[in-house]
Amino acid sequence: MADTPETTRLPPVGLLYDERMCNHATPDGEDHPENPERIRAIWRKLESEGISQRCVVMKAKEAEDRYIASVHSQSHIKLIRSISSREFDTIRRRRIASSFNSIYFNQGSSESAFLAAGSVIEISEKVASGDLSSGVAIVRPPGHHAEHNKAMGFCLFNNVAIAASFLLNERPELCIKKILIVDWDIHHGNGTQKMFYNDSRVLYFSVHRFDSGSFYPAGGDGSHHMIGEGPGQGYNINVPWEHAQYGDVDYIAVWDHVLIPVVKAYGPDIILISAGFDSAIGDPLGGCCVTPYGYAIMLKKLTEFARGKIVMALEGGYNFKSIANSVLACVKVLLGEKPSQGSFELQPFESTWRVIQMVRHELKQYWPVLTGELPQKLFTSCRRYCPLELNYSSSGSDVENDEEPSSTAPSIHIAEVAGDSLSLTLSKLNINEACHSASEPPSCEIVNGCAPWRTLLSEIDIWYGSYGSNMWKARFLCYIKGGKVEGMSAPCYGSRDTSLPKDVIWKTVPRRLFFGRSSTRTWGNGGVAFLHPDSCSSDKAHMCLYKITLEQFNDLLFQENSLVEKDIIGQQILSPLLGLSDLNYVSENKSLILQALKGGWYSNVLYLGKEDNLPILTMSCPLSDIERFKSGEIPISAPPKSYTSTLVKGLVEGKQLSEEEAIEYIKDATNRKL
Ligand code: Q9C
Ligand code: ZN
């Protein structure tokens, strides 16, 4: 039968939210970070952004005892069932709660616990069966600390573990034989790890603060040496952070150099995410700084596997704004939207590389893709850890649990950073510049995979405005694909990402075009095009705009300033010339001299406004060179023939000018006094 809209339409994304899970709360209304407002805040956000309307919204139903029993003891199930009954008064509940680590109970706790577990089962079953393409369970209480016979760390039942067992043992017809659990909550999921420690059907991967075993849940369970046992050996992967402040670029480095290669090799049938957002920027317990954009990229990378069958289940996350914005960014990814808005850090911590290397070493025997050594150079790389005052939790270990995030003053400005502004600047974060590498030159390289800054900048589109030989598309593509075209004497290296521009348009700008310098490697004797950095309403320059990524623009900058032959080639460049904070800067100040290109002919990045809401960038000489051109210190010369004919080809093929007009345009730019 021919395709009808019905047969081609993708199954919807499922969202599960149920107000009844708000009934679990502290018995006398004491403040607690794990409180009902968390999931309310998330739900409000999804509603007000029109996201829930684009999904299938589901209500919770309680998990059956027999399903819970596959990972918890009968006595634990019985305790959680009865804890809210009338035979238990507040005092007795308190006494039982205090026999656990970081647990409270009230009359709503039982129902919430059964609903949370049932929710994750239900949504997982629907994703596994294909009724939903993916799903998000906005549940509480969280689950990953809960063990076989105990509640712990705000968790009563291990929701994700219960759902994983359910798929494997109760629904053989769905053919789920291999499950990947990704736990990006800032805490180690000790419960989940134990439940599948000798089971190769579940690959448990957790990235969490470890701080030498002092971070909650303290001890050795979260160490990278915990790799699984018996048939489960190699199927437990811990990435133990050494301190606070890890952010997008650190997580993406872990994704690129540990998780994704392993997932490729493992080939899971479904992915369950223990999605705690206490690793988010602004979280009062986590002290780290993953942005909504970071979560979106991490999630998007996972959607390439298991035919996109992904279930996210909420775990921790204690800053309402942060968790709402983070979940929003994730659901948008599941709906097929492209992650927007960037991160501020482009260099991982040196400890990030150390941790990655330890984990790869520990697991390479089970996952040969992890075998290659990371180059020593990485360790001298740029970002160094500096303990900060603005951490809520005293650095080193987790703070006692009863901190209330909304009233903790310092969380306010951080929470705003977690919002939707593109101006994520270092100054807002109040991070000591001295801790950062911004001023250090690009140094190191990475053997397999690409530098994390590339991953981040490859998601950002800009317009590159060309006014010289690059107006001829074939010539411009040499910078993307590599090689040379007619008239060029030397080939280009090309960009790492060789994908074509997403769009090409023409524009005129009120700027003076002129030709300067007296010879180039590519074109021989004669001048090449420059744009006067200042605008002048009586001038008019033709521009061909290419929609490319900020990563490609960086590769263009490298090539245009002929830096590639020195020490930085293609994918081995460890820092970009123009990162996100530079993009913010140039958008506000219209011009930015790249210090790394000091002396380069095209070291000045110009901002020419916006098109389609994306910035238009080009490169030219610094303003200071204009005086030197005028005084004759730097020569002004007519373009060589090969260059002129490239310019004419660009303008004519681009249908901007006739051949005669194009020649006239170049003549005028050549002859008119600067
Ligand atoms: N010294 C989740 O994020 N902290 N749980 C207590 C006791 C408990 C976090 C510190 C943190 C539990 C799901
Ligand atoms: Zn947590």
**Is residue 555 within 6 Å of ligand 1 at its C-beta?**
no
Q: What is the pLDDT of residues 582-623, one digit of tens each?
A: 999 999 999 999 988 888 899 999 999 999 999 999 999 999
Whether pLDDT at 671 is above 80: yes
Better pLDDT: 672 or 384: 672
**Is residue 183 within 6 Å of ligand 1 at its C-beta?**
no
**Is residue 401 within 6 Å of ligand 1 at its C-beta?**
yes
Better pLDDT: 461 or 375: 461
CA of 285 to the centre of ligand 1 (A): 8
CA distance 419 to 528: 44
Q: What is the pLDDT of residue 561?
A: 81
Q: What is the pLDDT of residue 401?
A: 37
Q: What is the pLDDT of residues 47-105, one digit of tens each?
A: 999 999 999 999 999 999 999 999 999 999 999 999 999 999 999 999 999 999 999 99
Provide long-range contacts, Cβ within 8 A and 24+ apart, for 48-54.
Answer: 49/328, 51/15, 51/328, 51/331, 51/332, 51/335, 52/15, 52/17, 54/13, 54/335
Tokens of 284: 């009062």
CA of 183 to the centre of ligand 2 (A): 10
Q: Is 317 exposed, middle or buried (0-12, 13-18, 19+ CB in 10 A)?
A: buried
CA distance 180 to 397: 29
Whether pLDDT at 218 is above 90: yes
Q: Whose C-alpha lies nearest to ligand 1, atom 12?
A: 153
Q: What is the pLDDT of residues 384-438, one digit of tens each?
A: 888 764 333 333 333 333 333 333 323 323 333 333 332 332 222 222 222 333 3
CA distance 110 to 477: 63
Q: What is the pLDDT of residues 223-241, one digit of tens each?
A: 999 999 999 999 999 999 9
**Is residue 339 within 6 Å of ligand 1 at its C-beta?**
no
**Is residue 185 within 6 Å of ligand 1 at its C-beta?**
yes
Supply the pTM of this predicted model: 0.79
Tokens of 671: 């002859």
Contact 236, 195 (CB under 8 A): no
Radius of gyration of the chain (CA): 28
Instruction: Indicate the top mutation candidate among 98, 101, 102, 214 to test ligand 1's pocket, ranked by most ligand atoms within 8 A of CB.
Output: 102
CA of 353 to the centre of ligand 2 (A): 23
Q: Whose C-alpha lies nearest to ligand 1, atom 2?
A: 316
Q: What is the pLDDT of residue 379?
A: 64
CA distance 466 to 483: 19
Helix H, strand E, coil C: the string for 47-108 is HHCCCHHHCEEECCCCCCHHHHCCCCCHHHHHHHHHCCCCCCCHHHHHHHHHCCECCCCCCC
Report the b/e string of 219-235 with b at 16+ CB within 10 A. eebbbbebbbeeebebb
Report the b/e string of 391-423 with b at 16+ CB within 10 A. bbbeeeebeebebebbeeeebeebbebbbeeee
CA distance 158 to 351: 31
Q: Whose C-alpha lies nearest to ligand 1, atom 7?
A: 400
Q: Which of 104, 111, 102 is nearest to 84 (CA)?
A: 111
Active site residues: 145
Q: How wide is the angle at C-alpha 168 spanned by C-alphas 171 and 70, nearest 5°?
A: 100
**Is residue 209 within 6 Å of ligand 1 at its C-beta?**
no
CA of 182 to the centre of ligand 2 (A): 13
Better pLDDT: 180 or 486: 180
Atom of ligand 1 at shortest range from CA of 185: 3
Q: Whose C-alpha lies nearest to ligand 1, atom 5?
A: 153
**Is residue 512 within 6 Å of ligand 1 at its C-beta?**
no
CA of 142 to the centre of ligand 2 (A): 9
CA distance 576 to 557: 10
Q: What is the pLDDT of residue 563?
A: 64
**Is residue 102 within 6 Å of ligand 1 at its C-beta?**
yes
**Is residue 156 within 6 Å of ligand 1 at its C-beta?**
no
Q: What is the pLDDT of residues 451-502, one digit of tens each?
A: 888 888 998 999 999 999 999 999 999 999 999 999 888 888 889 899 999 9
Q: Whose C-alpha lies nearest to ligand 1, atom 1?
A: 400
**Is residue 184 within 6 Å of ligand 1 at its C-beta?**
no
The structure tokens 């074509």 sit at 500
- Which residues, 6 or more positions from 129, have their beta carbon under 8 angstroms from its beta carbon? 174
CA distance 317 to 38: 8
Nearest ligand for residue 103 CA = 1
Atom of ligand 1 at shortest range from CA of 398: 10
Neighbours of 59 (CB within 10 A): 12
Instruction: Indicate the top mutation candidate among 285, 392, 393, 400 to test ligand 1's pocket, ranked by most ligand atoms within 8 A of CB.
Output: 285
Neighbours of 499 (CB within 10 A): 12
Residues with CB under 5 A from ligand 2 (ion): 185, 187, 276, 278, 316
